[in-house]
A and B are shown apart, each in its own frame.
Chain A
Amino acid sequence: GIQVEQSPPDLILQEGANSTLRCNFSDSVNNLQWFHQNPWGQLINLFYIPSGTKQNGRLSATTVATERYSLLYISSSQTTDSGVYFCAARRYNFNKFYFGSGTKLNVKP
């Protein structure tokens, strides 16, 4: 399989601050997703981004496939951004997705 590593494991921010979450993966992938897990355990899709850059409101993501990493940017953070952020990756022609261990974000008012 592939190794998926996320950093930092924990992050505390003051409301309004910006942050960058990182996801490194050990092999070439053709599927990479970012999720936000809410306090009830639901995984919410943020980005499907095997390569390139996407933006959605205050969130944006960039995947540099050749260098095997992806970044999730959160700007002007809000308390509702709190939770755990996961990236998940899958290699081409393989079926299994591999998740990182997550970044736990706490945004304080």
Chain B
Amino acid sequence: DTGVSQNPRHKITKRGQNVTFRCDPISEHNRLYWYRQTLGQGPEFLTYFQNEAQLEKSRLLSDRFSAERPKGSFSTLEIQRTEQGDSAMYLCASSRDSRRQYNEQFFGPGTRLTVL
């Protein structure tokens, strides 16, 4: 079990640029979640996938945000036309299928985005 990995760990970009983050979940975890965390706050849910299907999106996820999970393995989160308000830590988590009684989330180290 190698844990959840995220790349890059840090990203600095200029306003208006597009950025893409990657998350590799724990192998055999069906569910994958994206969260955003700003300074002094708890993580806020953005979206989640069960296998390759994106089953729920938060209203926080504007049209500039898109997430994919091709083949139900790794996931990408893209932000187009970044704004300074997008600066945050983006966290990815994975868990087993929730139909099982035991459904613990495990988090990656996060990608810290700074928009100048």
Would you list which residues of chain A between 79 and 109 have a CB under 8 Å from chain B? 86, 88, 95-102
Docked Cα-Cα span, A48 to B102, in Å, equals: 9
B104 at the interface (CB under 8 A from A): yes
Interface string of B5-45 (1 = CB under 8 A from A): 00000000000000000000000000001010100111111
Q: Tell whether, in the assembled complex, residue A33 and residue B104 are in contact, meaning their CB atoms are under 8 Å apart.
A: yes
State which of B45, B105, B112 has its C-beta within 8 Å of the C-beta of A98.
Answer: B45
Q: Shortest distance in angstroms between B21's beta carbon and chain A's nearest beta carbon?
A: 14
Q: Tell whether, in the assembled complex, residue A48 and residue B42 are in contact, meaning their CB atoms are under 8 Å apart.
A: no
Q: Tell whether, in the assembled complex, residue A33 and residue B105 are in contact, meaning their CB atoms are under 8 Å apart.
A: yes
Q: Tell whether, in the assembled complex, residue A100 and residue B104 are in contact, meaning their CB atoms are under 8 Å apart.
A: no
Known A-B contacts A41-B89, A96-B45; the reply to A88 vs B105 at CB < 8 A is yes
Q: Shortest distance in angstroms between B50's beta carbon and chain A's nearest beta carbon?
A: 8
B48 at the interface (CB under 8 A from A): yes
Docked Cα-Cα span, A39 to B45, in Å, equals: 21
State which of A41, A45, A101 has its C-beta within 8 Å of the C-beta of B42.
Answer: A101
